[in-house]
Structure 1
Amino acid sequence: MRSALELHQVTRFHGPKSTGVAALDDVSLSCPHGTWTAIMGPSGSGKSTLLHCAAGLDQVTSGRVVLAGRDITTAPDSVLTELRRRTVGFVFQNFNLISSLTAEQNVAFPAKLAGVRVSRNDVREVLAAVGLADRGGHRPRELSGGQQQRVAIARAMISRPAVLFADEPTGALDSGSARTVLGLLRHMVRTAGQTIVMVTHDPAVAAGADSVIFLADGRLVDRLDRPTVHDVAERLAKLES
């Protein structure tokens, strides 16, 4: 199976290499197309740094990053900006919706910034796909947390990204809304072949993924395929202790 994302011996230092801190240390990882990978580890283990380097939001110190078949390691800012607009979707924990815009306008906004024409019908279709066909005219304050997160997912999906990156996508949600969002992500993987790379601290959330990778002190220290909540929690507890 071809890879949607590859990291080859990636290192990311904060500060000068001789005296700085290694947020990532020789990390190699492959995420096949159409799979869901969860990233876990103690606080400060490098989870968010890995996500940002993989998505082209941060630059590696050494190693290579290959995203959707393209080596982005030394790509200039103009190329990375275009890549993020057309190849990458990013879902944040706190939604990052624009309060003055409706759900439809929020979904269409990034595409308009990228100069990509999306029809109102396209926007309505993607909102319908996340169960919000009747909420397109509502502003964020008129939506629940789970509905706002689904708008954020629809916004990330409107450009049909090769990889959808999610940073704690259920962290700000109640348990019912979290289950709805996780069900949506699983549906996207199974029916649309979407590739998802997600950071989470919650074993129950990670157990929904196909694979879980564990980081500690910037290094990839473990991997669990076909995870269960019990196995994820047990391995995470060992790392945190």
Structure 2
Amino acid sequence: MHTHTSPAAATAATPTGNMVELFGATRTYGTGAARIHALRDVAIGFPAGTWTAVMGPSGSGKSTLLHCAAGLDRVTSGQVILAGEDITRAPEVTLTRLRRGTVGFVFQNFNLVASLTAEQNVALPLKLARRRPSRKDVRAALAQVGLEDRLRHRPREMSGGQQQRVAIARAMAARPAVLFADEPTGALDSGSARTVLGLMRDMVESSGQCVVMVTHDPVVAAAADAVVFLRDGRIVDRLVRPSAPQVADRLARLEG
């Protein structure tokens, strides 16, 4: 498929082509005997126009890696470069700007505002970023996820799969250079999950966006370009374009 890189994605990548880079990233919680090493000296780059799944046993550091890469949490030591900016010690105002303009998020629990319609939920991040959302763009994003007939529905009037598609439309409308997804299909049936994965693939292929996704599901992980595996806060393995059985086998060995 021919790909073209969106302006946001093109300008935000580092000289190495990575949208996100972590160097010697370590994250500890607590002190003394109670200290927990959630991440240990992690070095990884996530290139523009690629989709990476992050997997590992429970407590391996998957969500910590995602949160530190996205600027939702701070590394204890090491360095994090997000969309060409060093966010390791960046002030909150910088992180807020990146979250509103450069980064998109899709979480397992959708994080939609209950009192807003689908259309208003999609427009919200643009308004927060002081970008005037055009109704045309907002509706185009909802049409892209097959919800053009749900513009005025509130979250409670939609199924879980529909709510997650609104969340993806919300992320797509802002055209983020990087999309961070934490168990985006965890609450969905298999049909809805396939739809959501197709939408994420489209973001990577047609707009050159970078997707970093935490999942525990080998079938979901196999939709990505590459899968990295964590154990005890360290990256211990990587598979490129694997099948679901290969992912499941590698995960079983890590958990064993």
TM-score normalized with structure 1 length: 0.97
1:30/1:138 CA distance change after superposition, 3 Å: same
Distance 1:229 1:215 in 2: 17
| 1:131 aligns with one of 146, 149, 152 | 146
State percent identity of aligned pairs. 70
Helix, strand or coil for the counterpart of 1:181? helix
Kindly report which structure 2 residues correspond to 1:40-55, keeping only aligned pairs within 5 A, or say none. Answer: 40-55=55-70
The residue identity in structure 1 corresponding to 2:167 is: A
Instruction: Tell me what 1:5 maps to.
Output: 20
The residue identity in structure 1 corresponding to 2:123 is: A
The residue identity in structure 2 corresponding to 1:31 is: F
| 2:164 aligns with one of 141, 145, 149 | 149
Deviations 1:119-147 (A, max 9, x none): 11111111112121221111112212111
Instruction: Tell me what 1:220 maps to.
Output: 235
Distance 1:153 1:141 in 2: 17
Q: Cα offset for 1:18?
A: 7.6
Q: Cα offset for 1:221?
A: 0.4
Instruction: Tell me what 2:80 maps to.
Output: 65
Instruction: Tell me what 2:126 maps to.
Output: 111
Deviations 1:26-59 (A, max 9, x none): 0011111000000000000000000000000000
Deviations 1:193-231 (A, max 9, x none): 121000000000000000000000101000001111111
* Pair 1:231 & 2:240 matched: no
| 1:85 aligns with one of 100, 120, 126 | 100
Distance 2:30 2:93 in 1: 24
Where has structure 1 moved over 6 Å in runs of 4 or more? none
* The 10-residue stretch of structure 1 (124-133 or 58-67) with the greater mean CA deviation from structure 2: 124-133
Distance 1:210 1:202 in 2: 15
Distance 1:9 1:17 in 2: 22
Q: Cα offset for 1:19?
A: 5.2
The residue identity in structure 2 corresponding to 1:234 is: D
Unaligned runs of 5+ in 1: none
TM-score normalized with structure 2 length: 0.91
Distance 2:98 2:115 in 1: 27
* Pair 1:140 & 2:155 matched: yes
The residue identity in structure 1 corresponding to 2:189 is: D
Helix, strand or coil for the counterpart of 1:50? helix
1:216/1:180 CA distance change after superposition, 3 Å: same
Q: Cα offset for 1:71?
A: 1.1
Q: Cα offset for 1:17?
A: 7.1
Instruction: Tell me what 1:167 maps to.
Output: 182
Distance 1:17 1:217 in 2: 18
Unaligned runs of 5+ in 2: 1-15
* The 10-residue stretch of structure 1 (76-85 or 107-116) with the greater mean CA deviation from structure 2: 107-116
Kindly report which structure 2 residues correspond to 1:187-226, keeping only aligned pairs within 5 A, or say none. Answer: 187-226=202-241
| 1:16 aligns with one of 7, 26, 31 | 31
Distance 1:187 1:116 in 2: 24
Helix, strand or coil for the counterpart of 1:149? helix
Question: What's the RMSD between the two structures over aligned residues?
Answer: 1.2
Distance 1:57 1:17 in 2: 25
